[in-house]
Chains A and B, each alone.
Chain A
Amino acid sequence: DADVTQTPRNRITKTGKRIMLECSQTKGHDRMYWYRQDPGLGLRLIYYSFDVKDINKGEISDGYSVSRQAQAKFSLSLESAIPNQTALYFCATAGEMTYNEQFFGPGTRLTVL
């Protein structure tokens, strides 16, 4: 089984809808991250969490919120989706003692119509 899983893998939704992307990991890592990737813009950090009680905004947090339900679960929500949130979303994890080597989930392709 994959160490980092993301659900759903693909999602098409409409403008204004609320949507949640979920990430689970079995690596035992404390640190979890959400990124989005757009052609020509690279990977950009949305939110990150160092443990269940620690949530930090990244470069592009506006329009997004997160929840760290447990050490192994980190969810990303789009409260009211808009078309420019169409992107490939990745969850990543890192262990405390690994110099921030990050391991990525398979990604969620989100389309907002």
Chain B
Amino acid sequence: QKEVEQNSGPLSVPEGAIASLNCTYSDRVSQSFFWYRQYSGKSPELIMSIYSNGDKEDGRFTAQLNKASQYVSLLIRDSQPSDSATYLCAVNTGQAGTALIFGKGTTLSVSS
């Protein structure tokens, strides 16, 4: 069974620190990887996507992918209280357009 694993947290960091969120996946043929942010009671919002090994930066967010280790991470620099949310890792394991498999999410709490 294809799985995506995340530490449920909560991960607590002080304002201004770097938050590091991690995700592992089981299917070696996985093609594309996504990070979603979900505030309590709201819908998941796509914040990062990454398709090849290495780092991808977008503002304060950096996604890192290592296909050999089947590992994807999200770094949030200069964390703000507004970053407090649950972060979902999602993996597309087959042909483009097939369903994503989601991890259960890591809850991040940023204290001011």
A102 cross-chain contacts in B, Cβ below 8 A:
34, 46, 90, 100
Check A41–B104 contact: CB distance below 8 A: yes
Question: Using an 8 Å CB-CB cutoff, how does the interface string of A79-113 with B read, 1 for contact, 0 for none?
Answer: 00000000000100010110111111111000000
| Known pairs A42-B88, A99-B31; A104 contacts B99 (CB<8 A) | no
Chain B contact patch, size range: 20 to 34
Q: Is B61 part of the contact surface with A, judged by Cβ < 8 Å?
A: no
A interface bracket (residues with beta carbon within 8 Å of B): 20 to 34
Secondary structure dominating the interface of A: strand
Asked whether, in the complex, the Cβ of A107 is within 8 Å of the Cβ of B42, the reply is: yes
Taking beta carbons and an 8 Å cutoff, which residues of B are in contact with A? 31-32, 34, 36, 42-46, 49, 51, 88, 90, 92, 96-100, 102-105
Can you identify 26 A-B contacts, CB atoms within 8 angstroms?
A40-B104, A43-B102, A50-B97, A58-B99, A90-B43, A90-B44, A96-B96, A99-B31, A99-B32, A99-B49, A99-B51, A99-B92, A100-B32, A100-B92, A100-B96, A100-B99, A100-B100, A101-B34, A101-B49, A103-B46, A104-B43, A104-B45, A105-B43, A106-B43, A107-B42, A107-B43
6 shortest interchain CB distances as A-B pairs: A42-B104, A104-B43, A43-B102, A99-B32, A100-B92, A104-B44
